Structure 1
């Protein structure tokens, strides 16, 4: 049973579920008409239509738009034929009010589940207080400058600083902030541009309850929201509900879904919240990363303020470009992680070849293991043995912790900043190991590498006391609090939380160690015959395709993953010559072997594999092959380790990158579709060029990070973002 409170009926105990998309009213600086899509008749209208449109709401109901005169009906009919109206589309038209033509800036969108179109009116030139409209040359120049600035940002702080400055310069709000969400849903102001008379809010944190989940969902759907005047009187819709329309698939009357309406009224709780902050007008623009709400651009003003649809579209465009840059910066950090891990892997492989034990090499230099993750201690449990460095719990405590981690381990890596909070029985570990990050190294045994962080007393600055939301149980007396002055608390029993980059690094180190363990066990097959049975089980269970050959080129072993990728039975792989015959260019593999023998260095190559059963006409499977030489203590070659990898995902990523390049060229041609935009060096030409350059830079950063299944979706996201930015640019051109 749904216990969600109706719009305006929520209090602080249930505001998470308030039906804010069913507001049933609008802000008074515009008007709203709801049209039945199948015949274009008005079925719902805002109560202020008489003042703004010249006809009262009751005289508009069940009548066509043509009663308003002008070219409104013709322009709406033309646009309503578009298939992609789920997202609001702008248009300009005029009506006749009191015998005089009146120009309107309109926004139209489809509410498909209800079979209606929502048409929103705002006066061209603005009728709201302190309205801000766009001037074409200035807007284009500022957009061009902003997009170029975003593309040059190398870090998230530099980018967010640029966002706040550019948006404030564009819109003139008293304060513009970038508000970033953490994994727990709390928000923190990480960048700010403000009028000198205002006190800074930089660094302030806001509890997750300040933005309910329904509001977050709307921020994803409708990415720009404007509140002109917090003290406005809501204008109701007439009638309150959409009338039943059995012929249109709506058998019962129901409330209009206003999720995508720019004029939609805001929750009374949210309005009270803003009043308590002393804020009158707001602009909020979503920053979306991989389909999730990464953060918000929030602008506040002390007096009523409205901005034109063109400026709202410009802010939406800047947020889209910024989100693309965020993706590139964060993915570049992951690329740096990959470089660090490859260096570590190289050192461990070399140590294994010369000393026979990668574990000692891993712990020989504690700084190499601890510093990248800013850990204060680390422990390895492998083959029933513990190795530790730095400050770590006692061995009995480590065993207890390992059992607890292993019970909860679901995906790499496992991480917590407060062991004592998550498991009170482990509270004694807090001084030394409040923070734990763990990666599993085996599918068969509880082998783990763990990093620790000591408890760190830290001061968190909140915007007001989040623990005191009400006064005298009156939800509107303090909603959620009256004082937003900086309120600090000392957080105990926790370590510094693990960042996304640190989690990625831990995951990558774990994956690298798993790879090294497979290679080490493969070496043991060559040098320890009496351990063959136990080691074979470990290598066979590995998902990485591995084969071993002796110094004479006879294949001693190929694990099932290797045979499966080759498309051949393991016993059919007898020699390196037989293996080479399976590739489209056997000489390439032979050249690789000769290089390994002469240079005593690993060889990597990309080859085409003819799998058994594919036939002569089948397309060769692209694979990567790595050949490692295993030297003996006497200088002889003990043998070779061959590791195969399926490159289809990597090729798919390359194809996605080429597709993106073609799409960017098409977007560039589509963005320059009028004479003014085609003038080289014009502001309009600079805007679309800057958009495409930003997308290209993002694509290069993403493509250079790594191949694999994760790259193609990221490139597709950049393509979609660039296309949407070009569409938004086109809409701005229509409006200005």
Structure 2
């Protein structure tokens, strides 16, 4: 079993497991006091209390906070009354230093099962000290207002990222600001940059996943803003190192002053960077990317500016969600058009498969694919540039064993399965959607090999010298280094995967419809077709022209909680709903009007289930009606999304007076308040317009939480700046 190296004892072979949250020291521009509750006695203190508080750490231990004078203990006691103190809460206070009062700002958070942690930074910078950015309330509100408006107007990830770096650089003044986006393998790429013109550009450079160890990524999700004031700082250790009364070290995961790994500091020195601000961009609980700010001399930010950066990260994450979901909305439009064409082809030609593959552009262009193949009913049909049939069969067998239930994708078949290396020229990249629950039926798209030139920020494989990572690490040289990548295709984007999944779902729907018709016109194929329809996840009922039930599949029986025998006709089906008479009138109209019907019913039960109902009339050649096909979709998630949107709108209405109260007093503040609310409302509309029910409700709920958090952050900002 691999052990995790203690903080500061990792090397390049095990830095992934370094216990960076147990740093045991802080950056010296502030002090840390670990306090025992309820006595509020200091049990641990950083050694630099001598310089910043004019107290020896030894004489401070076991004394209450009030011993430091001023109103520190009063402020901390008020904050400590909160049950949820996992996230640091900022405050300002006064302390007595050598007979005179001095102002500090800081944060308090609680380490579960351990102590209350108080971090303090002096507001008065000593002569010759580090440059500190402090913005008054109106100026900060102006920056935030402009930023929120620019970010909310972005219609793509590219334009959003460009706006992010410009807004952050204007507000914070760092020499270089970058948006750093992670790919599915954890590698990073700089997709936007704003910099001092004297600096060389890093735009487009890639960084290997190993540059940011997994433990660091986890902390970036929890602690959204990380500040380094001076890369050459002398760390102030905790006294004592371990929590008194235990053998454990203080968990510093959420500490703003926590020391950084020596390997990371060396990494920054290798780049020539002195100070940094890193702001996390979190999407659906995952680390989507980072806003990385670099400075080439020591640099600090007041807490109000840090909180503003945190607020903007929430606005950015909300906009990313809206942009992504807008792409999904376009996916839905394309799928509906394709479905319509295939249904028309089925009715005129009797085979949707030929219509699907007849026009390569229709199938290939939306996914930027170079070829496609359909595996259906033991046949292989293809279009575009594809491997040979034996190679396709081998690929199908591999996907069947590794692809899971619905969607399989890769961008380097040769890397993932060397035995299929012969496919690389025409099918290095593959997306496969499964079309049947019990058969190896697939629709696959292919991308041929694409020779890529990847520009890395230094050779990612450069060896150490003298086995000393502090002397020369693999990242010592950050000159652009290009690598020709073979055997791979361009990676599939999230919207392309969503489109493939949606097309597959549409084809499953069409297959069910086609096979339901066959049940009426081809009794000799009944056994084979019944298996296809019966195993479908789509709830289906088929009746004859007199409304007598011919078939109800398992999905419908599960949905209704009835047996086939209990559903002899549509009258019995109508009795399943909360308004059976209205349902029966719809069914009767199918007979009299011979027109399809779309609408919603509610399935009766302890908790009624909303359903989307599609009723199709199947005509015979002589003009009579062979029967009817009814398909039911559970709308529970769609309704949940609607409720989530209504709840969000109510929350925004409730948040408006609070934000207005915070913002009153200047035109810039009022504009910022309006911008924050408008941004949330616009994001809500973009998200809900996507109509992707299983994802809309969680995203709206996440947006509500984000807006509430933005409200709190803005309140804190105003609290800091109104003096």
Query: Does the CA contact (< 8 Å) of 2:459 and 2:474 recur in 1?
Result: no
Query: Does the CA contact (< 8 Å) of 1:584 and 1:608 recur in 2?
Result: yes
Which residue number corresponds to residue 622 of structure 1?
610
Query: Does the CA contact (< 8 Å) of 2:545 and 2:591 recur in 1?
Result: no
Question: What are the within-5 Å matches in structure 2 for residues 153-172 of structure 1?
Answer: 153-172=154-173
Give the one of 462, 467, 471 matched to 2:461: 467
Larger mean CA deviation between 358-367 and 575-584 belongs to: 575-584
> Does residue 140 of structure 1 match 2:126?
no
Which residue number corresponds to residue 682 of structure 1?
667
Aligned equivalents of 1:79, 1:584: Cα separation in 2: 52
Relative to structure 1, the CA distance from residue 411 to residue 151 in structure 2 (aligned partners, 3 Å threshold; closer, same or farther) is farther
Give the drift of 1:253. 3.2
Question: What are the within-5 Å matches in structure 2 for residues 180-219 of structure 1?
Answer: 180-219=181-220
Query: Does the CA contact (< 8 Å) of 2:461 and 2:474 recur in 1?
Result: no
Larger mean CA deviation between 462-471 and 167-176 belongs to: 462-471
Query: Does the CA contact (< 8 Å) of 1:41 and 1:64 recur in 2?
Result: yes
Question: What are the within-5 Å matches in structure 2 for residues 388-467 of structure 1?
Answer: 388-467=382-461
Give the drift of 1:588. 4.3
Which residue number corresponds to residue 691 of structure 1?
676
Give the drift of 1:6. 0.9
Relative to structure 1, the CA distance from residue 598 to residue 493 in structure 2 (aligned partners, 3 Å threshold; closer, same or farther) is farther
Which residue number corresponds to residue 667 of structure 1?
655
> Does residue 341 of structure 1 match 2:335?
yes
Give the drift of 1:217. 0.9
Which residue number corresponds to residue 61 of structure 1?
61
Query: Does the CA contact (< 8 Å) of 1:373 and 1:505 recur in 2?
Result: yes
Aligned equivalents of 1:224, 1:176: Cα separation in 2: 14
Query: Does the CA contact (< 8 Å) of 2:280 and 2:289 recur in 1?
Result: yes
SS state of the match for residue 204, structure 2?
coil
Aligned equivalents of 2:366, 2:596: Cα separation in 1: 27
SS state of the match for residue 113, structure 2?
helix
Which residue number corresponds to residue 113 of structure 1?
113
Query: Does the CA contact (< 8 Å) of 1:688 and 1:726 recur in 2?
Result: no
Question: What are the within-5 Å matches in structure 2 for residues 473-492 of structure 1?
Answer: 473-492=467-486
Corresponding pairs, count = 719
CA deviation map 1:180-235 (0-9, x unaligned): 00000000001111111111111100000000011111111111011111111111
- RMSD of aligned residue pairs (Cα, Å): 1.8
Relative to structure 1, the CA distance from residue 480 to residue 72 in structure 2 (aligned partners, 3 Å threshold; closer, same or farther) is same
Give the drift of 1:511. 1.3
SS state of the match for residue 257, structure 1?
coil
SS state of the match for residue 58, structure 1?
helix
Which residue number corresponds to residue 630 of structure 2?
642
CA deviation map 1:129-154 (0-9, x unaligned): 11101211010111111112111111
Aligned equivalents of 2:192, 2:417: Cα separation in 1: 35
Which residue number corresponds to residue 249 of structure 1?
none
> Does residue 726 of structure 1 match 2:711?
yes
Which residue number corresponds to residue 77 of structure 2?
77
Aligned equivalents of 1:590, 1:364: Cα separation in 2: 42
Question: What are the within-5 Å matches in structure 2 for residues 8-87 of structure 1?
Answer: 8-87=8-87
> Does residue 555 of structure 1 match 2:549?
yes
Aligned equivalents of 1:214, 1:396: Cα separation in 2: 45
Which residue number corresponds to residue 247 of structure 1?
none
**TM-score normalised to structure 2 length:** 0.96
Give the drift of 1:587. 5.7
Query: Does the CA contact (< 8 Å) of 1:449 and 1:510 recur in 2?
Result: yes
Give the drift of 1:598. 8.2
SS state of the match for residue 406, structure 2?
coil
Give the one of 695, 705, 710 matched to 2:690: 705
Relative to structure 1, the CA distance from residue 603 to residue 36 in structure 2 (aligned partners, 3 Å threshold; closer, same or farther) is same
Give the drift of 1:538. 1.4
Larger mean CA deviation between 710-719 and 587-596 belongs to: 587-596
Aligned equivalents of 1:134, 1:55: Cα separation in 2: 30
Aligned equivalents of 2:607, 2:518: Cα separation in 1: 37
Give the drift of 1:487. 0.6
Aligned equivalents of 1:342, 1:582: Cα separation in 2: 30
Relative to structure 1, the CA distance from residue 134 to residue 348 in structure 2 (aligned partners, 3 Å threshold; closer, same or farther) is same
CA deviation map 1:398-430 (0-9, x unaligned): 111111111111143111111111111111111
SS state of the match for residue 138, structure 1?
helix
Aligned equivalents of 1:589, 1:355: Cα separation in 2: 33
Query: Does the CA contact (< 8 Å) of 1:554 and 1:575 recur in 2?
Result: yes
Unaligned 5+ residue runs, structure 1? 245-251
Relative to structure 1, the CA distance from residue 601 to residue 130 in structure 2 (aligned partners, 3 Å threshold; closer, same or farther) is farther
Aligned equivalents of 1:272, 1:286: Cα separation in 2: 22
Which residue number corresponds to residue 223 of structure 2?
222
Give the drift of 1:459. 0.4
Give the drift of 1:494. 0.8
Give the one of 641, 645, 652 matched to 2:640: 652
Aligned equivalents of 1:411, 1:308: Cα separation in 2: 51
Give the one of 293, 298, 301 matched to 2:295: 301
Give the drift of 1:70. 1.1
Relative to structure 1, the CA distance from residue 371 to residue 399 in structure 2 (aligned partners, 3 Å threshold; closer, same or farther) is same
Give the drift of 1:595. 6.9
Aligned equivalents of 1:416, 1:599: Cα separation in 2: 49
Give the drift of 1:606. 1.0
Give the drift of 1:696. 1.7
Unaligned 5+ residue runs, structure 2? none
Relative to structure 1, the CA distance from residue 469 to residue 304 in structure 2 (aligned partners, 3 Å threshold; closer, same or farther) is farther
Which residue number corresponds to residue 325 of structure 2?
331
Which residue number corresponds to residue 248 of structure 1?
none
Query: Does the CA contact (< 8 Å) of 1:649 and 1:707 recur in 2?
Result: no
Query: Does the CA contact (< 8 Å) of 1:469 and 1:481 recur in 2?
Result: no
Give the drift of 1:65. 1.1
Aligned equivalents of 1:428, 1:2: Cα separation in 2: 38
Query: Does the CA contact (< 8 Å) of 1:125 and 1:133 recur in 2?
Result: no
Give the drift of 1:369. 0.7
Give the one of 556, 559, 573 matched to 1:579: 573
Aligned equivalents of 1:620, 1:404: Cα separation in 2: 43
Relative to structure 1, the CA distance from residue 2 to residue 395 in structure 2 (aligned partners, 3 Å threshold; closer, same or farther) is closer
SS state of the match for residue 11, structure 2?
coil
Aligned equivalents of 1:731, 1:124: Cα separation in 2: 17
Query: Does the CA contact (< 8 Å) of 2:133 and 2:172 recur in 1?
Result: yes
Relative to structure 1, the CA distance from residue 536 to residue 380 in structure 2 (aligned partners, 3 Å threshold; closer, same or farther) is same
Query: Does the CA contact (< 8 Å) of 1:688 and 1:729 recur in 2?
Result: no
Larger mean CA deviation between 588-597 and 492-501 belongs to: 588-597
CA deviation map 1:235-257 (0-9, x unaligned): 1111122211xxxxxxx232111
Aligned equivalents of 2:473, 2:260: Cα separation in 1: 14
CA deviation map 1:623-645 (0-9, x unaligned): 21111222334444332211012
Aligned equivalents of 1:442, 1:129: Cα separation in 2: 65
Give the drift of 1:479. 2.5
